[in-house]
Amino acid sequence: MRRYWAALSVLLGLCGVFLWSSPVGAQQVQPRWGRDYFPNVVLQDQDGRSLRFYDDMIQGKIVSINFVYTTCTDICPLDTAQLREVQRILGDRVGREIHMYTISINPERDTPADLRRFMRSYDVAPGWTFLTGSRADIDLLQRRLGLRPVGERNLRDHDTSIIVGNERTGQWIRRSAYESPRLLADLLARTLQNYATAPVNPRLSYSAAGQVADTSQGAYLFRTRCRSCHTLGEGDRLGPDLAGVTRSRPHAWLARWIREPDRVLAERDATALALLSRYRNVPMPNLGLNEAEVNQLIEYLERQDQAAGAAPNAASPRR
């Protein structure tokens, strides 16, 4: 028993030392990854201006960083649409207290002019910067951010993660391209600021919580893969409103369009080309869904159409 109380006294004494000394220690903490870790390579933004990665882009800032290429037809369109929704949620805080950067992994092709066209296609608002540079510098940046670079011939295999961080505190977080835009926005606006700001998502009581009406895999796929570009009865976004789509398109065509839209476009399918032209030339991404997932997604859309009476939105063109 004496040993127990002796050990407890030592433990409490140590706790007291830590509690007493923590304010001083907190003031002396330096970022773990700073100038000595991040390269100060020079990149060019969409307007042709040169920016140094550490000095101009991240030093002392809260940032999001992701890597795409403008001719990508699989995950990059979804990645960009997700971040566009993050920018919409954050509003004018982007470019002022939160800095969003998208860097091309195909710098031999993606010039500043290409980046500007890409931004216009996705209706990117001011404050979000797109950049290009040399392949060696961009590969080095990816490695320092914990991502695996790929060669020019393997662009489709590139890492699509979104990196968010606070350079001043040294806190860096890696997130999936399928992450909820609201959660990403809250990470940037609140978590990385040590919860010193108001939450992006209002805190509601449990009594105000809505019931999840559909917990199917198809509903999950729509929320995580489709909702950044499409709605169901709320009008067009980057892509068409999908209300009534299971009635307006043949099942076989719709299933193939969802599973391999890049091939359908490559075959010059008239319907696919018309959709591409109508919606800012933003390609439908190939999300890598298998046959079962495609069927689950279509079944979910069919249930929504049945529940709504499958009345097409008059404001939207044929989907």
Residue 162 phi, psi dihedral angles, 5° rounding: -105, 125
CA-wise closest residue to 46 among 117, 99, 97: 117
The DSSP-derived string for 162-216 is EEEEETTTTEEEEE-TTS-HHHHHHHHHTGGGTT-S--SSPP--GGGPPP----S
| Annotated binding residue 226 | no
CA-wise closest residue to 229 among 220, 239, 219: 239
| Annotated binding residue 72 | yes
CA max distance for the chain: 86
CA-wise closest residue to 74 among 280, 256, 261: 261
Residue reference for tokens 């009865």: 233
CA–CA distance from 212 to each of 62, 126, 182, 209, 297 (Å)? 33, 35, 17, 9, 17
Distance from C-alpha of 286 to C-alpha of 260, rounded to nearest angstrom: 6
Q: Which residues fall in the annotated binding site?
A: 72, 76
Q: Which residues fall in the annotated binding site for Cu cation?
A: 72, 76
